[in-house]
Amino acid sequence: MTRPASRAGRASADRLARLLNLVPYLLARPGIEIAEAAHDLGVTEKQLREDLELLWVCGLPGYGPGDLIDMAFDGDRVTITYDAGIDRPLRLTPDEALALVVALRMIAETPGVANREAVERALAKIENAAGDLAGAPVEVRLPGDSARVRELRAAVERGRALRITYYTPARDETTERTIDPLRMLMVGGRAYVEAWCRRAEGVRLFRADRIDAVTELPEQAVVPPQARPHDLSDGVFRPSADLPLITLRIGRGERWITEYYPCERVEADGEQWLVSLRVTDLGWARRFVLGLGPEVTVVAPAELAEQVRAQAVAALDAYATPAGSADPAAVGGTR
């Protein structure tokens, strides 16, 4: 489910990129026609005129008449008359340079970075230009970073096949698999290794913190030509029509579900909401519902409602007689 806030954020980022490119473009082409500039920049004339109007209020802190970008219009032609220093070489303050060093170190440690050498070259240039930062006591650790992640990343970089012991929570089972890694990924703060699974005969994602053991094999990874990486632009879980659809009635305290999980339908039902979403299987859905609060009721399917009821009754029965209880007289005698 696409959210309006996401689209707005993406549009703002696109416009910022256009504005950053617009000033140097116009500086190099004084007096250019707006129609020609719009064609070169891949926008409409209307959009370009709106961007130019926004540039009137962009500039240096202070934002007075001598601080803002200025332009001159001659009919349908535009010329930048004051660029607010955008053509001057960038001078970083120590704090700015340190922030860039931290960001680049984080990128260098992120699994799945395509060109780590380019990141490391940029990092070396900044550290050399600001000598005091070369030995800065800064250590970057990503969420989910661990010895296991580093071990997996090293094996992937060496192109080795791996034998792993993997826990699948949806089926509550542990399996042994031999995999041929394609790449390491960081999605939602968690590290994954994407690989061809010889057991499943397909491309699978394995979460690093669910790999209980890993052995690097002496053989090179051999990925079949039909193997294709997953499109993870919308996250790891991709709901589809062939997956089970469940419907829950939730109270106010459980509305976070609609923000955290992709829902197909959300309808108000008085103070409660009816929420429908796809799940990997009903076993996962049963554990999911049981982990929620009392403000959740399973509406459909009936099979899930029965599974939840049966497991809840079994749990209550287990608490009915406390473990180790016995007749006091039999244990300690009569007083």
Residue 35 sits in a domain whose CATH number is 1.10.10.10
Residue 272 lies in a domain: yes
Rounding to the nearest 10 degrees, give the CA dihedral for residues 98, 102, 103, 107. Answer: 150
Do 36 and 72 share a domain, yes or no?
yes
Indicate which CATH number applies to the domain containing 187. Answer: 2.30.30
The answer to whether 187 and 201 are in contact (CB under 8 A) is: no
Domain edge (last residue) among 60, 80, 100: 80
Do 258 and 312 share a domain, yes or no?
yes
Residue 46 lies in a domain: yes
Residue 232 lies in a domain: no
Residue 334 lies in a domain: no
Residues 6+ apart with CB under 8 A from 164: 176, 177, 178, 179, 206, 211, 213, 214, 215
Do 151 and 204 share a domain, yes or no?
yes
Report the pLDDT value the prediction gives residue 97, as an integer from 0 to 100.
Answer: 75
Report the pLDDT value the prediction gives residue 330, as an integer from 0 to 100.
Answer: 46
Do 12 and 76 share a domain, yes or no?
yes
Report the pLDDT value the prediction gives residue 302, as an integer from 0 to 100.
Answer: 92
Residue 159 lies in a domain: yes
Is the preceding peptide bond at 4 cis, omega within 30 degrees of 0?
A: no
Do 249 and 202 share a domain, yes or no?
no
Residue 87 lies in a domain: no
Q: Both tokens of residue 264?
A: 């197909």
CA atoms of 282 and 289, how far apart (whole Å):
10
Do 43 and 68 share a domain, yes or no?
yes
Residue 225 lies in a domain: no
CA atoms of 117 and 77, how far apart (whole Å):
43
Report the pLDDT value the prediction gives residue 320, as an integer from 0 to 100.
Answer: 78
Mean pLDDT, the chain cut into blocks of 10 residues (335 residues total):
45 73 87 91 89 81 74 89 73 74 71 65 72 56 64 84 87 87 79 88 87 90 85 65 87 86 85 88 86 88 91 85 56 42
For the whole prediction, is pTM greater than 0.75? no
Do 260 and 286 share a domain, yes or no?
yes
CA atoms of 298 and 304, how far apart (whole Å):
7
The answer to whether 176 and 165 are in contact (CB under 8 A) is: yes
Do 72 and 28 share a domain, yes or no?
yes
Q: Could you give the angle at which helices 302-320 and 282-290 cross, rounded to 10 degrees?
A: 50
Residues 6+ apart with CB under 8 A from 266: 258, 273, 274, 275, 276
| Beta strand 272-278 pairing with 263-269 | antiparallel
How many domains, the chain?
4
Residue 185 lies in a domain: yes
Task: Give me the domain span that covers residue 306.
Answer: 243-318
